Amino acid sequence: MKLSLLFSLVAFAVSALGSKPTPPALTLLFSATVNKGSALIIESSSTGLKAVQAITDGSFSGPKMKGTVTTGIATSVKGPNGLKVEATFVLQTSDGANILITERAAIPYVEAIFETGAEAYDWLNNVTAWATPRSLSNIDYLDYWQC
């Protein structure tokens, strides 16, 4: 009964099984500049590197939303299996909404999800985004694509 509640939430068509998969269309969500503080090295050895960086500020702008980047943090781990990064920061839109963005990256690729209680941006709660930085440094430039 309660599970029907769970599943009824999910409204999408069940495609015919066995059909040939077709790739999703991507649309630009926004482009962002994300400024970070200097890296605090937690661990650095011949076998790996772990570092933390504050996300201090920045800006973003796109077809449906624009505003500033604020408070956040990025944790990067370079281990035997590549460079993985986790980042959490807040987007403040020009019309006053706070949107939490949480990212996981297998560099050079970044996956993002969003969370907000602002009604005007409720659609973001059911969106995933994908980005790849145009450079990797204390300033990141990224285009976020809605998948």
Residue 31, strand partner residues: 61, 143
Considering the rule CB under 8 A, would residue 4 count as an interface residue with a second copy? no
CB of 97 to a second copy, least distance (A): 9
Q: How far apart are CA 92 and CA 69, in angstroms?
A: 6
Reference 108, options 70, 75, 140, 61; nearest CA is 140
Nearer to a second copy, 58 or 76 (CB): 76
Q: For 9-50, give the DSSP string.
A: T-----PPTTSPP-PPP-EEEEEEEEEE---EEEEEETTEEE
The two most distant CA atoms of the chain are separated, in Å, by 54
Considering the rule CB under 8 A, would residue 6 count as an interface residue with a second copy? yes
Is residue 79 within a helix (H) or strand (E), and if so which, with residue range?
strand 66-79
Q: What does the per-residue mask of binding to a second copy show for 52-81, with x meaning CB under 8 A?
A: xxx---------------xxxx-xx-xxxx
State which of positions 77-136 bind a second copy (CB under 8 A): 78-84, 88, 90, 92, 98-100, 102, 104-111, 113-117, 122, 125-128, 130, 132, 134-136
Q: What does the per-residue mask of binding to a second copy show for 29-48, with x meaning CB under 8 A?
A: --x-----x-xxxxxxxxxx
Pick from 35, 51, 57, 64 the residue near a second copy by CB under 8 A.
51
CB of 92 to a second copy, least distance (A): 8
Q: For 48-67, give the DSSP string.
A: EEEEEEEEEEEEEE-SS-EE
CB of 86 to a second copy, least distance (A): 10
